[in-house]
Structure 1
Amino acid sequence: MPRSVPAATAALRVLRFLSGQPVPVSATRIAGELGLPRSSAYHLLAAMADEDFVVHYPDDRTWGMGIAAWEVGHGFARQEPLARLARVPLARLVDRVGQSAHLVVLHGADVLYVIEERAPGRPPLVTDVGVRLPAHLTASGRAILAALPGPQVTALYPGKGAFTSRTGAGPQSPTELRRLLVTTRQRGYATEDGEVTEGFASIAAPIHAGTIHASVAVTWESRTAVGDLVDDVRATAAEIARRLRHT
């Protein structure tokens, strides 16, 4: 692969090219259209096929978009309206409670932070936009996991090896996680205290909106006295869900 076309850049160019084709195309055409050496194009396509971003049709000697590329596009389609419709309700939540809030989506066994609204004068958090954290440690992730079918949670956490820790606290086995999620499901919201960052606590509520796996959370310093945040957080999650259903 020429230095002027790194593998990552070339892979993205291949995906962009294939996404604009009405039917699968040959590797020779891909290489020619993108200015890639033919041997490099074959190696690149084989690596992308291993990750399901492209699929090879041997009978026709052509290549097309794979299921992983569809998943990426589908993920954007879910998240983009979510972020747009959630920003105002999240800002109103911060104004009401005076603490920082964020919106996350489930990404495998992690949560991905899509929006963070920091309250004035509050300390910075690790939950910046684009950050990923283990779902089982965060209130945001627990709120989402509690709303998932049991077999899906089991697939994400099949054994003790699936569990990590940041501060030494938090569930460390499927049994511990199941117990925690039962409690979360029964009361309709999730909490954590010192399991993501020592000295900080969070409360979160799931956003019930079809196939979107997301939640709203508020985080504050544990030593700071705050009122009952449950109703405000759950009301914000419900408002975002209504907005999504009306879109």
Structure 2
Amino acid sequence: MTRFHTRWGLQDTGSCHAVSVIPDKPEAAKVPAADHTLRILSYLAGRPAPVAASAIARELELPRSTVYHLLSTLAAHGFVLHLQEERRWGLGTSAFELAGGYTRQQPLARRGAPLVAALSDRLGESAHLAVMSGGDVLYIVEERAPRRPALVTDVGVRLPAHLTASGRAMLAALPREQVRALYPDTSAFPVRTGQGPQTPRELRELLREVRARGYATEDGEVAVGLRSVGAAVLDASGWPVAAVAVTWGIEELDEALLARAVQETAALLESRLRR
């Protein structure tokens, strides 16, 4: 029997959980190295957490030496990461770049834009939709409310995920091993205003609070005087494909009220993507 691995992505039909059609043992592969490489990436994409090289070799029925050579090459190009302490391998930032590029295509933006616009109209504040791209968030929909503060979150802008409400919402929904791979040490924590987590421990604590609260916040860490709340948009497997957020100025608004509206919009987008 031929087996197929599940792979995260978006498709034009509106489903945000696509099924890869890369079989375990394709017939008559003309370029074995390329075939093995794609099978390894597909396998890692379908795992909920990083795995050992021996497991990859066993599951894909490949020689261990081949798997180690290909993993080393993929790591050199950023497509996989080696977690040395755990002796396991997971997807790297270059793989997320590819996933983010696909996510940025029409289906998500088309379905998200009217919902983000409605959210902005409802609250009278600027709203946006963003996706993960490596350790950054990439803004794909931006709805500016009239007479509200100027923002840096134009469509196509990237910001460090750990500083933004959108990024924190998505990071909190990722497997902890993946977050650790993205933020292995203090060098992975750029700052903009001198605020925000600057160590893996600080980030872990922040994300723990996000999970407990159900939404993420940010106060002056992207731009002084601006605050945001964000909620993740999850696919059918629980993977964060995007996040909805609202940003406002120094006014003392009801954060819980804004957060509920953002969560409702994220849930509505989830339902539309899964149709």
Contact 2:232 2:240 in 1 (8 A): no
Superposition deviation, residue 230 in structure 1: 1.3
3-state DSSP class of the match of 1:146?
helix
After superposition, the Cα gap between the structure-2 partners of 1:164 and 1:86, relative to the gap in structure 1 and judged at 3 Å, is same
Q: Match of 1:179?
A: 205
Task: Please give the secondary structure, in 2, of the residue aligned with 1:229.
Answer: helix
Q: Which deviates the most, 182-191 or 74-83?
A: 74-83
- The alignment yields a C-alpha RMSD, in angstroms, of 2.4
- State the alpha-carbon separation in 1 of the partners of residues 240 and 101 from structure 2: 11
Aligned counterparts of 1:245 and 1:218: Cα–Cα separation in 2: 23
Which residue of structure 2 aligns with residue 236 of structure 1? 265
Q: 1:194 aligns with which of 198, 217, 220?
A: 220
**Equivalent position of 2:253 in the other structure:** 226
Equivalent AA in structure 2 for residue 235 of structure 1: E
1:78 counterpart = 2:91: no
Deviation for aligned residue 1:121: 1.1
1:15-73 deviation per Cα after TM superposition (whole angstroms, max 9, x unaligned):
xxxxxxxx77xxxxxxxxxxxxxxxxxxxxxxxxx8599xxxxxxxxxxxxxx999766
Counterpart residue number, 2:113 = 87
Secondary structure, counterpart of 1:145 in structure 2:
helix
Q: 1:145 aligns with which of 139, 163, 171?
A: 171
1:216 aligns with 2:249: no
Q: Aligned residue for 2:233?
A: 207
TM-score, normalised to structure 1, is 0.69
Assess if the C-alpha contact under 8 Å between 2:220 and 2:227 holds in 1.
yes
- 2: CA distance, partners of 1:74 / 1:195: 27
**Structure 2 counterpart SS, 1:216:** strand
- Please give the per-residue CA displacement for 1:67-111, whole angstroms capped at 9, x wherever unaligned: x99976654433321111001111110011000001100000000
Which fold has the larger relative contact order, with Cα–Cα distance below 8 Å and residues 6 or more apart in sequence? 2
Structure 1 residues 205, 72: CA separation in 2 closer, same or farther (over 3 Å shift)? closer
Quick check: 2:219–2:226 contact (8 Å CA) kept in 1?
yes
**Per the alignment, do residues 238 and 177 of structure 1 end up closer, same or farther by CA in structure 2, a change over 3 Å counting?**
same
The verdict on how the C-alpha distance between 1:91 and 1:179 changes in structure 2, with shifts beyond 3 A counting, is: same
Normalising by structure 2, we get a TM-score of 0.63
**Distance in 1 separating the partners of 2:209 and 2:95:** 35
Identity of aligned residues (%): 54
Aligned to 2:53: none
Q: Residue type matched to 1:177 in 2?
A: L
**Alpha-carbon deviations, 1:187-241, whole Å to 9, x = none?**
11000100000000000000012445310000000x2132321110000000111
Residue 105 (str. 1) matches residue 131 (str. 2) = yes
Label 1:73 to 1:163 Cα distance change in 2 as closer, same or farther (>3 A). Answer: closer
d(CA) in 2 for partners of 1:161 and 1:84? 36
Q: Verify the 8 A CA contact 1:78 1:212 in the aligned structure 2.
A: no
Deviations 1:119-168 (A, max 9, x none): 01112200011000000011110000000000000000000111111001
The amino acid that maps onto 1:182 is R
Structure 1 CA distance for aligned equivalents of residues 101 and 161 of structure 2: 20
AA aligned to 2:251 is T
Distance 1:86 1:128 in 2: 15
d(CA) in 2 for partners of 1:230 and 1:71? 27
1:186 to 1:212, Cα distance in 2 relative to 1, 3 A: closer
Query: Which has a greater percent of helix?
Result: 1
Larger radius of gyration: 1
